[in-house]
Structure 1
Amino acid sequence: MSLLASRAVRVARTRLAHRNASTNHAGEHTNYPKEDFVTPFWRNALIAAGLVVAAYKYAPEPGKDVYLTRWIAMYTTPVGEWLKRSVSRAAAQEVEAENTRLMMSARRPLVHRYRYPQSFEQASPFVIGVGSQVQLDDVVVKRE
C-alpha cells in the first residue's frame, strides 16, 4: 500500500474508535426502581393535603377575629391616634410652609448709592448751614 492509503486507513480506524454514538448494549439489562405511589414525595404530598383540609375545616369564620389578629391589634396603635397624629402633622407642615413662603418672599432693603458722596461736605467745614444753629447762651433751666 502506498503511504497515502495507509494514512487514510489509520484515520478511518481512529474515527470509528472515537464515534459520538455508543455501541454498548449493556443498558438493556439495567434494573430500574419500581415506580409507584409509595415514595417519600407522595407521602409528603398526602400529609400536606391532610393538613390543608384540617386547617380549612377548623379555621375560624370570616366574621370572627382570629387569636393572632386580636394579639396584633393589642400591640398596635389605634386608628384615632394615627388620625390625631396626621392632623397635628398637617398643621405643623402648614405653619412650616407659611414660614418658608414668608422667607422666600422677603426682599433685601433698597440701597441708595450716590454718584458723588463728597457733595455732602461742600457746604461748611462742620456740616452746619448758616442760620440753622440756635443761640442758647441766655436759656435758664427751671428747677423745683
Structure 2
Amino acid sequence: MASRILSSTRLVRAPLTRQITRRNFASDAKDASPKFAEETFNGNIWRNTVIAVIAGVAIYRIDQHLTNQGEEKHPFTKWIEYHMESSEDMDKFNQQKLDDASKLAEYRLVVQEAQRAPIYRLRNPESFERASPRGLVTGQQVDLSDLKVRSD
C-alpha cells in the first residue's frame, strides 16, 4: 500500500518536461534518416522455405515407400474407404429416395388436377315459393321437403 502512495506522489512531483518527453515518441538520435535492419538470407522465411521443401520431398519418398512405387492404395485412402458406406448401400438408399420423390410428385399432380364438384345454382330460387299448392298437376310434383335454399 505504501508503494502505491509513493509511486503516485513521485508522478505528481516529477517535472512536467519529463512527463511530456515520455509521451513523445520522437527519437533522441542526432541522425534523422530512418535506419532499417540489414537484409540478408538469414531471415526466418528462408529457413522455413528450406524446411518445407525438405518435408515435401520426405513425404513424397515415404508415400512411394508405403505404396510400393504407387502400385497399392495409400494407407490413408484405405482408412477412408473402411469408414465409408459401400456403394451398393448408397445405391439402394438413393433408389429408395428417388422412389419416394416420384410417389410424392405423382400425388401432387393428382391433387393439383383435382376439382371441386360443380355447384348448380338456380337463377331464381324464389320460383319454388311462387306457385300455388292447389294448382299442382298429378305426376309433375317433386318432394322438396329436404331442399334447403341458399341465398348467397
Structure 1 pair 79–131 and aligned structure 2 pair: CA distance change class (3 A): closer
The yes-or-no answer on 1:55 pairing with 2:59 is yes
2:45 is aligned with what amino acid?
A: F
Question: Which AA in structure 2 matches 1:94?
Answer: S
Shift of 1:41: 3.0
| TM-score of the superposed pair, with normalisation by structure 2 | 0.53
Distance 1:52 1:109, change over 3 A: same
Q: Spell out the pairing of 1:93-132 with structure 2 (5 A cutoff).
A: 93-121=101-129, 122=131, 124=133, 130=138
Match of residue 50 from structure 2: 46
* Percent of matched pairs sharing the same residue: 24
Give the CA deviation at 1:58.
1.7
Cα 1:54/1:110, change in 2 over 3 Å:
same
Aligned to 1:141: none
TM-score of the superposed pair, with normalisation by structure 1: 0.56
SS at match of 1:96: helix
Gaps of 5+ in 2: 1-29, 141-152
User: How far is 1:101 from its partner?
Assistant: 0.6
- CA RMSD in angstroms comes to 3.2
- 2:126 corresponds to which letter in structure 1? Q
Q: Cα deviations across residues 11-69 of structure 1 (Å, max 9, x unaligned)?
A: xxxxxxxxxxxxx9886xx897473x444333322222221111111213444222221
> Structure 1 CA distance, aligned partners of 2:36 and 2:137?
130
Separation (CA, whole Å) in 2 of partners of 1:46 and 1:129:
116
CA distance in 1, matches of 2:83, 2:49: 37
Question: How far apart are residue 129 of structure 1 and its match?
Answer: 6.0
In 2, the alpha carbon distance for the partners of 1:38 and 1:26 equals: 28
Match of 2:26 in 1: none
How many residues end up aligned between the 2 structures?
A: 104
Name the SS for the 1:89 alignment partner. Answer: helix
Residue 148 of structure 2 is matched in structure 1 by none
Which protein has greater RCO, CA pairs closer than 8 Å, 6+ apart?
Answer: 2
